[in-house]
Amino acid sequence: MEVKVVNFEEKFSKLEELHSYRIIAQMNDYYFKIVKAKREFIWHTHPETDEVFVVINGELKIDLRDKTMHLKSGDMVVIPQGVEHKPSCPDECHILLIEPTETVNTGDKESELTDTDLEWI
């Protein structure tokens, strides 16, 4: 694969729809995925992996069972394997996700929010 510089803002500017995950890079068996979100997500876990959220623009709330975290642009968090979490953003938020290529967005919870239709952008 050709080695290319990826600019986050440029990738987000090409992504029009909310809640569509797009792959922007791959490192070994991990994808870097972007999503524009404006919704309350469901409680779920990833029983097989940690998951990284990086906020590129906007604000992201992540509820854990014992606390709530508020992330803004320039923040990241690692949700450990098996830890229940519920992301939500009342206003549009631009999120970079880093996780294994086989990770599904809703983890252990099959839902109408489950999205396995991943394309590169």
User: Which is nearer to a copy of itself, 65 or 91 (by Cβ)?
Assistant: 65
Kindly state the smallest distance separating residue 39's Cβ from a copy of itself, in Å: 21
- Binding residues for a copy of itself, rule: CB under 8 A, are 1, 3-9, 25-28, 30, 32, 49-52, 64, 67, 69-71, 74-81, 83, 98, 100
Within 10 angstroms of residue 32's Cβ, the number of other Cβ atoms is 19
How far is residue 102's CA from residue 91's CA, in Å, rounded to a whole number? 28
Amino acid in position 48:
E
Kindly state the smallest distance separating residue 112's Cβ from a copy of itself, in Å: 27
| Nearest C-alpha neighbor of 98 from the set 118, 78, 116, 115 | 78
Kindly state the smallest distance separating residue 28's Cβ from a copy of itself, in Å: 5
